[in-house]
Amino acid sequence: MEDPGLFDLREALRHGEVSSHDLVGTALERAEASADLGAFVSLNGELALAEARAADARIAATVSATARRGLPPLLGLPTAHKDLVAVRGIVTTHGSAAVPHLPAAEDDPVAAAVRAAGAVSLGKTQVPEFGIAGYSENEIAPPARNPHDPARTAGGSSGGTAAAIAAGVIPGAIASDAGGSIRIPAAACGLVGLKPGRGAVPADRTRSAGSDPSLDDFGAPRMGVSGPIARDARDAAILYDALRGRADEPAHLAVASVMTQPGSLRGLRIGVSLASPFEEWIPIRFDPDALAALQAGVDALTAAGHTVEEAEIAYDSRYPEAFTTVWTAGLGRIAFEPGAEDRLGALAGMFLRRARDTPRAQVEKAAAALRSFAADVARQWGAYDVVLTPALASPAPRVGAFRALGPEGDYRLQCEWAPQTSMVNVAGLPAVTAPTHRTAAGLPMSVQLIGRAGDEVRLLQLAAQLAA
């Protein structure tokens, strides 16, 4: 029998059928038993169990069922944080040997939101160095492996998180996505991953600085957002509600729409596209299993009553160079201690050299090209209610496959494997990945659904339809 999901565990907690202490204790045991997956960089067992006991006391003190409905939406449920997120009192390594490993003085806004929602964090999960890769390997901890085949990657940059969920250690978690970091590992591990649109999550708005929070320091569209990874659309909706602070507003609950209305969502115009903006730089080839996953998505959405048609989409040829210029520029803002750069991994080292060799005026020109790209794709995608693509071009590669190619080959393979994720971050629109197919070897394959601004709940409903 499959383990209960986040929704069922929450109901069991609220009805006194299970304790948070038991759930967290079991999760810690599973984390230790599956250590060979490399999902966790660190576990904080004593702290997690203390928080679980506090959650149990709060639930016990809330006598009526009605009052318990008003408790924090994730109270007592086990989760984890990526090792890029500052959590009060816990060391953050950023997956790098080149920066000090110090405990954080306070919570990052997203960690604070998860804490306010009542979730109990077991510890930190594995990431690539500074979150810059679509796989989760670095110089300081074992790689995050795919529970469906431990010889293969769990994806990245939220690979440790996805591995922990797919292995049944935790029921779900909040992750982050600046170029595909929620959707890539969710797809690789057979999970649902939602990348909200720019500005949809209050904690992300808190992080943003400057006169225009939609742009970064170079004037490029701000790409990083926070969102859920979970086993199904219902659980992802619970996490999304908690993240955006909507747990006490029933009329706006994503989970209510996913649970009660997915069948009523019909008649959308859905455009199917294999086009990638990286085609101007490298040939993009979709594996037969990626195409099978796409066809399964087309069939399911057609059966659900939507109009699914081929989309004619063409992308700006400047995208590969402009995106890479902006993507790598961020490392140039890190103030490394003397000698620390020698401890960078090969990919981060290449990115840093490129960042330092690129004049600011050139980065700003690339940023302007990305702003133009965002406006253009919003117009083209806007001809449809939703755009449907493969989530990944092939099943998860083997652990070590990227790094074996050297840094330039590594980056190229990342763009070949996930050729349609970063463009959605640049556009600032929401997207969800959901599994639709398995290979002959049992590896999950997924599709990506890209929505219009504010369509996160609709995308979760569609993800639920894909699983129906």
Active site (catalytic) residues: 82, 157, 181
Say how far apart CA 337 and CA 254 lie, in whole Å: 45
- Write the CB contacts of 49 (distance below 8 Å, at least 6 apart in sequence): 21, 24, 25, 28
Tokens 């979970």 map to which residue? 230
Buried b (16+ CB within 10 A) or exposed e, 50-59: ebbbbbbebb
- Write the CB contacts of 58 (distance below 8 Å, at least 6 apart in sequence): 71, 75
Contact 196, 430 (CB under 8 A): yes
AA letter at 367: A
- Write the CB contacts of 236 (distance below 8 Å, at least 6 apart in sequence): 172, 192, 193, 194, 228, 229, 230, 432, 460, 463
The two tokens of residue 131 are 């979150």
Q: Looking at 83-136, which runs of residues are DSSP E strands?
A: 91-92, 102-103, 120-125
DSSP string, 235-296: HHHHHHHHHTT-TT-GGG-HHHHHHHSGGG----EEEE----GGGGTS-----HHHHHHHHH
Adjacent-strand bridge partners of 438: 444
- Write the CB contacts of 69 (distance below 8 Å, at least 6 apart in sequence): 14
Adjacent-strand bridge partners of 225: 177
Residue of 245, 138, 248, 155 lying closest to 193 (CA atoms): 155
Q: Which region holds residue 267: left if phi is over 0, alpha if psi is between -120 and 50, else beta?
A: left
Residue of 42, 32, 41 lying closest to 139 (CA atoms): 41
